[in-house]
Amino acid sequence: GFNPCGETCIWFPTCHAPGCTCSIANICVRN
């Protein structure tokens, strides 16, 4: 499960990498 966005959003509800969004599983994924 490689995460190309390099972030999770369990503690912070935002993703800082461009083109990434928070998934239901609290992982930043490409949108």
What are the pLDDT digits (tens) for 1-31? 566 788 899 988 888 888 999 999 999 999 8
pLDDT at 12: 83
User: How many domains are there within the chain?
Assistant: 1
pLDDT at 31: 87
Domain hosting 16: range is: 1-31
Q: What are the start-end ranges of the H helices in the chain? A: none
In angstroms, rounded to a whole number, what is the distance separating the alpha carbons of residues 18 and 31? 10
In angstroms, rounded to a whole number, what is the distance separating the alpha carbons of residues 11 and 22? 12
pLDDT at 21: 92
